[in-house]
Amino acid sequence: MTTTTSTTEEMAADPEVLTDELLRDTAAKVGVCVRPLIRRVTDTDTGESEVVPLSCGSTRASVCPSCAAKARRLRMQQCRDGWHRTDDPAEIIDQADDEPEPEPDDADAGAGDSSPVRRRSTKRLTEVTDDDGNVVKKFPPLPLAPDVEDRTVGRVYTSPDGKVYRPSMFLTLTLPSYGRVRADGTPRSPKTYDYRRAALDAIHFPKLLDRFWQNLRRCAGYNVQYFGCVEPQRRLALHAHAAVRGAIPRALLRDVVAATYQQVWWPNHDEPIYTGARLPIWNERTETYVDPDTLVPLVSWDAAMDATYEPDAEAAHVLYLGEQVDMQGLLPDTQLADNRVGYICKYLTKNIAEAYDPDTMSRRQRTHLNRLHREVRWLPCCPECPNWLRFGIQPKNPEPGMQPGYCPRPAHQLENLGHGGRRVLVSRDWSDKTLAEHKADRAEVVRAALAEAGIDAPDTDRWSANQTDDDGTPRFVWDPVDIDHATDRQTYRVIIRRLITERLRWQQEYDTAKAQAANDPPDDTHSATQPDPVTPAAKPEGGTLCPAT
């Protein structure tokens, strides 16, 4: 009987067997980057050079399935390592930088000189009304804790029989309804569906999440740590799944969710002034945008922001969380907790618009997707966004060539649908490691297994940019190689076949090492970045889950 591995090896060795599509599928199957970056590395000591393929590092499966899967596994490892931690960092870090950064224009532009700094009132809102004055949302007061303890881990609970527990939580946060939807996520009434609010909420969703974690820390009474991922719902609205360290009463969580909101203090941008072909034009002499008819300069960004400091000024937009909240208490080292790690990171390899499968989405879903994207395209995403010109306002730091509807920032792209920020949100004291250190730990698991079996691990330090000659100059010089995967097919095929063969050899060596370790397990496994021993739960690139030791 022919095994899958041997069949793959035969196919990779025979260039005539694999078509371009099959070669790509085979590369993805064994964990090889399907669109490698080609570099030529030259040894300045010997003069020898070699063409080296580097992984593209994409986090989207539609671009590179192998690199996206690798990035997802790394994030899962990061989530596991910090979720049920039982010790605080050696030194409690000031969490001010972990809270939402102040808007650049929250203070007067003259804050750096002798001008007084203006700040808006911190009085909490009690409700939000619509254009007709109807109350659409009421905000209860925050249930503030009397004191916030300097700890990042959850409390320990002891049962009557003496067992000790330190539970943590899984949490899902959503946005409010914008109108009734069908089972396929599309609006029942597209005419009344609030696409504008949906788009604005998507653009500012990261700010709302930051505000929620800030409020939760103030109410839970300790420095809550979290690992969260942002993803789309079926209706294309954003929501977030999060692993929360420590157990928090469900009633308190519901109160904090109900009381959390975020005000967007930007100039009003409800109704566009310039549309179609009638748009502001650039004046070279004054270096400003002017009205196309009167040639009068548009309101500057600073002047527009000044109006937001008036006593009767209102925020341009207020967003808040939805009523649907999922809260689950979980114990460490359980199958349910491990399943939740996979669930939190489940859609990290997909973009926001892929809530609908591009190959199978219905006409109704495509209409809904395009309608939401059209709204996102024309709304401002930041103070520097060209879309401010539509509303008669100079963007911050204006420059020639700005055109509404063509902002290059990620929020306006179809695949992001307004969300231009990070998909993974991690608090500062989550695991005490950087993502690079987590990656090093995963690699060390593989190296330890190979060394135990007497197999030489691949030399990852070869051609290192850190190696220098006696005069301090880099020994190895890296230069890009201009190879187009679409046109230079033969070179691409040779590189991919070589990578597949190398990956299969590494996988076979690692499988051999694991089989030997099963019969003669090592005493312990150590972190590559920390002196203390850790329990590995890492999955090597392209491999299977390593057994804990």
Interhelix angle for 335-344 vs 65-83, to 10°? 130
Inform me whether the pLDDT recorded for 421 exceeds 80: yes
Inform me whether the pLDDT recorded for 246 exceeds 70: yes
Q: How many CB atoms lie within 10 A of CB 146?
A: 5
**pLDDT tens digits, residue range 105-136?**
443 444 444 456 777 777 889 999 888 888 99
Would you call 325 exposed, middle or buried from its count of C-beta atoms within 10 A (0-12, 13-18, 19+)? middle
Look at the alpha carbons of 109, 114, 115, 116 in this order and tell me if their dihedral is positive or negative: positive
Helix, strand, coil abundance in the chain, percent, nearest 5: 35, 15, 50
The predicted pLDDT at position 159 comes to: 87
Inform me whether the pLDDT recorded for 448 exceeds 60: yes
Inform me whether the pLDDT recorded for 231 exceeds 80: yes
For tokens 């009085």, the residue is 123
Inform me whether the pLDDT recorded for 165 exceeds 80: yes
Contact between 499 and 53 (Cβ < 8 Å):
yes
Contact between 53 and 501 (Cβ < 8 Å):
no
Q: Model-level pTM? A: 0.82
| Per-residue pLDDT band at 439 (split at 50, 70, 90) | confident
Task: Round the average pLDDT of the chain to a whole number and report it.
Answer: 84
Inform me whether the pLDDT recorded for 78 exceeds 70: yes
Residue 386 CA to residue 402 CA, distance in Å, equals: 5
| Per-residue pLDDT band at 3 (split at 50, 70, 90) | very low
The more confidently predicted of residues 450 and 391 is 391
Residue 216 CA to residue 93 CA, distance in Å, equals: 18
Residue 228 CA to residue 419 CA, distance in Å, equals: 15
The predicted pLDDT at position 104 comes to: 38
The predicted pLDDT at position 273 comes to: 96
Provide the β-strand partners of residue 290.
281, 297
Average pLDDT over residues 264-286: 95
Contact between 170 and 330 (Cβ < 8 Å):
yes
Provide the β-strand partners of residue 42.
49, 477
**pLDDT tens digits, residue range 490-540?**
888 888 888 898 888 888 877 887 777 777 655 555 444 455 544 444 433
Inform me whether the pLDDT recorded for 173 exceeds 60: yes
Inform me whether the pLDDT recorded for 541 exceeds 70: no
Among the residue ranges 87-101, 199-213, 225-239, 326-340, the one predicted with the least confidence is 87-101
Tell which residue, 70, 74, 77, has the closest CA to residue 541: 70
